[in-house]
Each structure stands twice: as C-alpha cells, then as structure tokens.
Amino acid sequence: MTEEIQKSELAKMIDHTVLKACAQAGQIDKLCIEANEFGFASVCVNSSWVMRCVKNLLSSDVVVCTVIGFPLGAASTLAKAAEAAIAVEQGAEELDMVINVGKLLDGQFDFVRNDIAAVVNAANGKTVKVIIEICNLDDDQIVKACELSKEAGAHFVKTSTGFDESGATVEAIQLMRKTVGPDMGVKASGGIRTREVALKMIEAGANRI
C-alpha cells in the first residue's frame, strides 16, 4: 500500500524541521519556502522563530509547529505551559513537547501525565505531540509513555527529539501504534532521510514524519 503513496501525499505527512541552536534567519526563511513549495504539513522551529514563520506562511496551507521543553523535557511544568501559551498566542498551530523522561523512569506517572496535560490545556485546542525519546526507554516504558500521553489528551506521540543517541525504529512505531490505537497520531522522528525509510515508518503505523 505504501508504495502507492504519491509525492504530494507523502509531503502532507512531513514536518519540515530546523531546530539547531545556530539556525539563522536565512535558514528559517528557506525552510518556509521549501515547505510551501513541496506542500509539507508544517515547519517545525524553536519558539523564537514562530512569528517569522507565521509571517512567511500567511498565504500557505503549511502550519507552524514549535517545540516545548526542548530538547531535554526537564523544565518545570509551569515553564512548559507558559512556553506553550506564548507560542499559541504568536501563531503556532502545533506543539511538539518533550516528556520528562527522568520522572517517567522514576515511576512518577502522575507527574508525567499532569506535565503533558498542562501543555495540552495551555495549547487551547492546538495539536500537541509528545516526544517520548524512545532511545532512553524499554518497551514497557514506551507503552507507559504512550498511555500517559493519551490519558493527558495529547494528539500524537513522537519517537525522538533527534538530539539524543538514536531516532525512530520500525519496531517502536509498531508498538506505539498498537498502544494508542487508530485514532491518535504517531510521529516517526530522527534518522529518516529517504523515501524508502519513510514508507517503512508509515507502513508500521506512523502518520507524520
């Protein structure tokens, strides 16, 4: 089935991303031009670039995505919620937040759920994707992170920041899709650089790359 996906359909599943600390205005503008040209789902940038991207994409179907608590996820819940609220006020339509991995590994599940829920509430209806950083988790912990994300009202679970040891795997995507069911989004992120790999992730259950 995935072999039949056209370029335009695949493009609609892609978040075109620049998150490096040294990114400059010209790179952000180029990101927006490329996203508009190819019809990507979104551009994903650090929050200081949200307003520039919104301006660049005013007449486009491409939405602006930003990251929350990135890349560590260890900021306070209040800080994450504030960051989310400001980003939405400035025009972000999607928010990719990083889970507090340390709290998850400590078994502080109420904290993790409430941390995610605070960002979901601050997002005021905008799409929230929860980055669970699979390279730090075993299968049971991946399942728990997905369950907590779903319970907190998030819209997607996402494999990786791309800033840690490794990125998405087919096995993790399959497990995440099985856990969250058909109605929640699954985003494969990190190390996906060819159509072939992207299609494998989609076949495994990802609906955003």
- Active-site entry in 12, 80, 96, 144: 96
Q: How far apart are CA 157 and CA 149, in angstroms?
A: 7
- Active-site entry in 12, 80, 150, 158: 158
Q: Output the CA–CA distances (angstroms, integers) from residue 20 to 24, 70, 93, 143, 203, in the order listed.
A: 9, 11, 20, 29, 29
Active site residue 158: yes
E strand residue ranges, 61-208: 63-68, 94-98, 127-131, 156-158, 185-187
Q: What is the three-class DSSP state of 165? A: coil
Q: What is the three-class DSSP state of 13? A: coil
Active site residue 187: yes
Q: What is the three-class DSSP state of 42? A: strand
Active site residue 96: yes
Per DSSP, 99 falls in state P
Strand 15-18 versus strand 127-131 pairing type: unpaired
Q: C-alpha angle with apex 127: 123 to 129, nearest 5 degrees?
A: 100
Catalytic residues: 96, 158, 187
